[in-house]
Structure 1
């Protein structure tokens, strides 16, 4: 059943965050009728069948965000969305560095914004856009949203450009600067390596593994990112006035890769001697990586009342689900 005035479009819905978000949006608040009318876009010719079945009767559309091909059919078959969540991105920094043109073409949502600007119903929409902590330079701890953005790699630069374009083009938006997102596997397993599962896998082999001790992030549990998006969606659909938000979306803990590995080892009972601390400068990853882009999440907590999951609890939840 279509829910008038509550249409949500998830762009990049077959990716990691997109699938977790769609699963949450597909659930009803009270076990009755679905709260939202859903649609999602995917880049590959055929969307994951497991996902399609799990969130049925959501509509799905093949879209090329670089060219905009496929966007017009969304209006024809789904109508104008009230909330658009853009999860689509070229998000591997090394890949962005190797092909900067593709990174800009993918991460700058020009075709999406052009599509949204074509709406002539007189009804406003909200764009929720996923950005990154890599917009920050990485020379201090706990960046705030008002700090200057000085990205050191092409991934960060493409995301800063996207933020600027959105703020200049859209009347209503929420830009979410996310840290490393971790958590359980998706309904239809994604091909990319998931951080906690990867750490668990390499440590379980009983051989020493190197981890950086001098690169700091605020990894965020995927359900906290989903809850942030749900809170923004509910606020908008319930009749909120103009929304122009920029939020850091990270976890409550500032952690190095060594500390992340130690948390996994503590849960599994692995020997800490397997974790070998090395400097990030000792490895050539083909891309410059910011040293410390930990974030202050006070604004997120204050505005939306989100209480992010501790890394220890997030690791436990991730690996308990993984084991089951």
Structure 2
């Protein structure tokens, strides 16, 4: 008798990373095939996504109340792996409504649901953020003190602490800006590389910060990290308590990001205007330098994320074909 497929639940599966992740898991073959399900908060799941990764079970879930998790227990069962991609991730929105941000970003209903299974042994992979760091120096390590300067970062560090206190099997991934191609069912939020490309293509002069640094990570590298962690848990059966920085290898400013797009496309570099982040009031404090050291990620999983230039090149090539 064939071994039952391992069950993977993607919470927030209709979002940007969630859709790419479902695609990644659906491409498994043979012994690596997975039974897939995802949660969404829309009135109905995106049909293009369901068709593309079929078979997959969509479930409408309210993360604030936990409504909908019981339906997953009944129709799908206990997942072997749960990936939590769901978040209110726009810093200014979190600043304007901190209660809503905390109710969504602190996954108490998800953790409570997982604890309801007699075999409380699912691996929870939770997406956190580089914005848990204060931003006063370069290349933060995982054991550096987390001192977030805005509400988004505060909700995400609260989530990390909740998971560490209440789960015995987890991997927390502090991700930088995730960029890459558009999703199967297009997301409405602005994608950074596509936005830069569109503005420069139209010949617009655009201002970019020269003094705000990140380690943007290509979406397919994030997918590879999550699938590698899932396989490690499924094959080894050893509980994890991991906290990993997940960024790209390059520390770049917004200005340098735009320059990279212009160089690849052949746009006029004079369109890119360098300004200080302090010159703009965005309604939220933004950390200046939250670049991350990813040496533990490379050592634990053997994954070397692609360079920013290579990721941008791949993103634009895929965009041109679509």
User: The TM-score by the shorter chain falls in which range?
Assistant: over 0.9
* Conserved? CA contact 1:5–1:82, under 8 Å: no
C-alpha distance after superposition, 1:190-209 (max 9, x if no partner): 00000000000111111211
* Conserved? CA contact 1:3–1:35, under 8 Å: no
Where does residue 225 of structure 1 map in the other structure?
A: 222
Take 1:159 and 1:3, find their aligned partners in 2: how far apart are those partners?
Answer: 37
Where does residue 22 of structure 1 map in the other structure?
A: 22
Q: Counterpart of 1:59 in 2: which secondary structure?
A: strand
Where does residue 98 of structure 1 map in the other structure?
A: 96
Q: Give the aligned CA root-mean-square deviation in angstroms.
A: 1.3
Q: Counterpart of 1:124 in 2: which secondary structure?
A: coil
Q: Counterpart of 2:134 in 1: which secondary structure?
A: coil
Q: Does residue 203 of the first structure (1) align with residue 196 of the second (2)?
A: no
C-alpha distance after superposition, 1:65-110 (max 9, x if no partner): 0010001100100010010000000000000000000000000000
* Match of residue 38, structure 2, among 37, 40, 50: 40
Superposed displacement of residue 161, structure 1: 0.2
Take 2:6 and 2:247, find their aligned partners in 1: how far apart are those partners?
Answer: 27
* Conserved? CA contact 1:5–1:237, under 8 Å: no
Q: Does residue 168 of the first structure (1) align with residue 153 of the second (2)?
A: no
Q: Does residue 84 of the first structure (1) align with residue 82 of the second (2)?
A: yes
* Conserved? CA contact 1:26–1:34, under 8 Å: no
Take 2:33 and 2:163, find their aligned partners in 1: how far apart are those partners?
Answer: 27
Q: TM-score, normalised by structure 2?
A: 0.98
Where does residue 244 of structure 1 map in the other structure?
A: 241
Take 2:205 and 2:242, find their aligned partners in 1: how far apart are those partners?
Answer: 44
> How many pairs are equivalent?
321
Map 1:262-273 → 2, pairs under 5 A: 262-273=259-270
Take 1:160 and 1:293, find their aligned partners in 2: how far apart are those partners?
Answer: 15
Take 1:283 and 1:3, find their aligned partners in 2: how far apart are those partners?
Answer: 57
Superposed displacement of residue 129, structure 1: 0.1
Take 1:124 and 1:164, find their aligned partners in 2: how far apart are those partners?
Answer: 19
Q: Counterpart of 2:318 in 1: which secondary structure?
A: helix
* Conserved? CA contact 1:3–1:37, under 8 Å: no
Map 1:73-152 → 2, pairs under 5 A: 73-120=71-118, 122=119, 124-152=121-149
Where does residue 10 of structure 2 map in the other structure?
A: 10
Superposed displacement of residue 239, structure 1: 2.5
Take 2:188 and 2:98, find their aligned partners in 1: how far apart are those partners?
Answer: 23
Q: 1:41 to 1:232 in 2, by over 3 A?
A: same
Structure 1 gap segments, 5+ residues each: none
Superposed displacement of residue 5, structure 1: 5.8
Q: TM-score, normalised by structure 1?
A: 0.97
Q: Counterpart of 1:238 in 2: which secondary structure?
A: helix
Take 1:313 and 1:207, find their aligned partners in 2: how far apart are those partners?
Answer: 25
C-alpha distance after superposition, 1:26-61 (max 9, x if no partner): 1123xx576111000001110100000011111110
Structure 2 gap segments, 5+ residues each: none
* Conserved? CA contact 2:5–2:33, under 8 Å: no
* Match of residue 303, structure 1, among 288, 291, 300: 300
